[in-house]
Structure 1
Amino acid sequence: MSGARLPAIGERTPDWRIGPFDAAALQAYAAASGDANPLHLDDDLAHAIGFPAPPVHGMKLLAAFEPLLCAWRRDLFLARLSAKFVQPVLRGEEVTLSGRVLRSSPEEGVFLRLLAYGATRAPALVGEALMTAPRKFRP
């Protein structure tokens, strides 16, 4: 990796707030993603399972990290993104996304721990991302 200074270990991304998500947003995501699991769309089913509202699609939350990371470091490329979904974020809740650098080297890239918090302030998602310098196309 060359060019701009790499982020230091411990450096944090700015907090990024998304949502709240309404029923129309969840329906649109279901249509676009192909994930029409009724748990995310049906109030009665969510209530029967014990949720006060349908949970937001976990992949919708994970995908929201991409614009955060790309805005934070426009000189780096998001090479890998993964997460574990710890607890649901419910329709109508705002979510706060954040990241912290755990490793940073020119050879291996920048490895971040990602967190998404819903209304309870307990982690809803714990993930990781790898950012690297953009690679030039080589035929």
Structure 2
Amino acid sequence: MSGAYLPAVGERLPDWRIGPFDAAALAAYAEASGDANPLHLDDDLARAIGFPAPPVHGMKLLAAFEPLLSAWRRDLFLARLSGKFVQPVLRGEAVTLTARVLRSSPEEGVFLRLLAYGETRAPAIVGEALMTLPRKLRR
């Protein structure tokens, strides 16, 4: 990452709010992703399992980190994204995404801790991202 400004360890990205997601948004995601698990679409099934509403697809929430990271640093590419789904976000809830720089080096890139939480402020996703410069700019 030679010649590029590297973010400082501890730098926090601005909060990014998404949602709330309604039934139509969950149905559209199910269709586009091929994940038509009825748990995300059926109110009666969600209640039978113990949720007051269907949970939002975890991958829909994890994928929402990409625009946050791209808006933060247009000069970096998202090389790796992963997350653990800790607690569901339910249909009708808004979600806040945050990230903080844990490591930043020319050799290894920028490693971030990701956090998504719903309206209860309980973590929904704890994740990691690695961002790098394009190959032509690396030395």
**TM-score, normalised with respect to structure 1:** 0.96
Residue of structure 2 equivalent to 1:40: 40
The one-letter code sitting in structure 1 at the alignment partner of 2:74 is R
Give 4+ residue runs of structure 1 displaced > 6 Å after superposition: none
The CA deviation at 1:4 is 3.0
Are 1:113 and 2:118 counterparts? no
- Measure the CA separation in 1 of the matches of 2:41 and 2:3: 46
- Secondary structure of the equivalent of 1:98? strand
- Secondary structure of the equivalent of 2:92? coil
Give aligned pairs, total. 136
Residue of structure 1 equivalent to 2:26: 26
- Secondary structure of the equivalent of 2:60? helix
The CA deviation at 1:11 is 0.2
**TM-score, normalised with respect to structure 2:** 0.96
Structure 2, gaps ≥5 residues long:
none
* 1:31-70 aligned within 5 A: 31-70=31-70
Are 1:124 and 2:124 counterparts? yes
Percentage of pairs with the same residue = 90
The one-letter code sitting in structure 2 at the alignment partner of 1:101 is V
- Secondary structure of the equivalent of 2:10? coil
- Secondary structure of the equivalent of 2:130? strand
- Secondary structure of the equivalent of 1:62? helix
Residue of structure 2 equivalent to 1:71: 71
The CA deviation at 1:3 is 3.5
The one-letter code sitting in structure 2 at the alignment partner of 1:67 is P
Residue of structure 1 equivalent to 2:9: 9
- Secondary structure of the equivalent of 1:51? coil
Residue of structure 2 equivalent to 1:104: 104
The CA deviation at 1:2 is 2.6
When the two chains are superposed, the root-mean-square deviation of aligned CA atoms in Å is 0.6
